Structure 1
Amino acid sequence: MPILPLTPPVPFVPMRLSPVNLKILAYTLDVEGFDSSDVLRRCGIESADDLQEDGDWLPLHLFDRLMAAAIEETGDPFFGLVAGKSIALMKYGAITPLALSTPSLRQLLEDIRRFALLAVERAEVELLESGQTACLMVNPVIENGLSGRFRTEQVATSAVQMLRFTGASTSDIYQVEFPYAIPTGHEQRYLSTFGPRILFERKACSISFNPAILDLRMPTHDPVAYMTARTRAESVLAARQAGTDMADAVRQWLLNAFPRLPTVSETAAQMGMNERSFRRQLGMLGTSHAELAQECQRLMAERLLAEGKLPLKQIADALGFSSVHSFHRAFRRWSGLTPSAWREGKGLAQDQG
């Protein structure tokens, strides 16, 4: 049976995020008196020391698991309300020094939009202005299930805290909306966090507020500290984007080359570099040619298994494996499941969804 060509124009790459997100949540658990080390181990992370701010970005599903584990550890399905105003948010990341020295709320929101890319692949808060109302739209990176509500409430709580930090009073916060039903018996927690004007079962999560506070001058504004923090953030962002562009280019090249796996020297030449410089550049990004190749093999394997059109032998051939057995062994190392079990579980999840 001939091998089907595998040259998708835009390969699917699962969303990833900076380890700083997991580190903040772990620190939040510690601050609130819980055992973050146990929660991290349940997610396959030995300790918070393994979560370096400038370390390799992690799959989004790992953050999803950590939020679910945090809810289980605390026994509080509304722990996102706690996490959204924890001092842990001020301990890490490039946004904190900008927030402490920003000239105005408008500038802070612009900085959050721009530098959110240092922590996640897209900003989770967007400013909209219309007439006499300003609105923050909350678009969490995870939207579904308990973890989705956790992240929605964490981001929304942080946004309201930010408004208050920059001078908003209770009357300045016009309305807070959530896209799910009101949690019966927990109304007071929402009132104390967001104020008296809350609506549930709306289309999206949003926070409407008085636009006059957008341009109030911040009493904590320090021009020198702000420019220093912004220059540093711009430098880190430029390095991050340059690295991401190169890694994505390598992924695209490898995906289009299947079932053949290019050598390191071939890929280096494709990137316009000699092999030594290429290896060094990937090392600076915390990865290697072999790791990117395995990542691409897993991405394509999961896509083909989810489609359910090809037998395992043909998938193994299409991905460059020498046998079904070697594909089986590699996939189990990646996911903890056999290819057949993964495909059955994916189909079941889709049927239930």
Structure 2
Amino acid sequence: MAVRIPEPIAANILEGAAGRGFDPAALLARAGLPRTDADLGAPDFVRLVRAVTLTLDDELAGLHDRPQRVGTHAIMASYLSRAETLGDAFARAVRFMDLADNSFRFSLGEGGANLRLDMARIPGRTVLNETAIEMVLVLVSRMLFWMAGTPGAINGAWFDYPAPAHSASYPAMFQRAPMHFNQRTSGLAIPRTLLKLPVIRSEAEAVAYARRTPLDAFLPQDGTTGLALEVYVAVESTLAAEGRLADMAETGAALGMPVHTLRRRLKRDGVEYSDIRRQVRRDMAVRLLTTTDLSIEQIAEKTGFSEASAFIRAFRSWTGLTPRAYRVSEF
């Protein structure tokens, strides 16, 4: 199912532009959109964000106290790519964002089995609406997980504002993590078990990723932990080695459990085996499109499609774009 971005988020983006003195109608026209009184597909939302960002020369879309000039995100990506581990990359991200001295102070802390990424408002600084926080948490966490080549996981999310009208979309934005509103700060809890993962992206790959933002960051993504993560790794291993998707019986055998046990445990965790297979396939397709020069036909074969046309249809259903359009999409 194609990604849909709730209308209030688009309205919040336009509020930032209006606050900087720009006409929302003109920006909609620049993005090729007639209106924003309905949810947007991912490509339409990306065009809107880019129209606002480029017009304002502000990657924060006018939502924070001061503009973050276009190109800053790419510089941050370059800096993060030089980290050795995901934990080091999180520390670098906090240092980089704090250097901006904009609307928030960022910090890392320990919370039992989790690393806590906190963002606290600086008194007297502008934070126009909740999307100012949503976009930082989503964009930064997704980029960091991508740096380590993992879907990542979020064990908790908290926000220093009441649940917004579009809070029903938060589970998809924050990997179905437990959520709390009206907190002292906003932030995410990241499993410490992920922090030793090595950063595997090159500087060139990281900069290219940043230039595609926010497209990559708004792909649907479910949390992948525990047994679901083991299944993800097993399915990915077979797909990478043999160009096919393993069925549940094969994956169960690889994990040393009967298929009925695997099915029951996944169901208990609220996870569908078919959804894990779909995410593995999509993640591999995105990785191959953005980090290799393989043809669409070759990527279709490597991700288990019998025909390129079937791959193109599936990819469009995941992202709203064709593989070719996705590959060239950047600022």
TM range (shorter): 0.3 to 0.5
**Structure (1 or 2) with the larger CA radius of gyration:** 1
Q: TM-score, normalised by structure 2?
A: 0.38
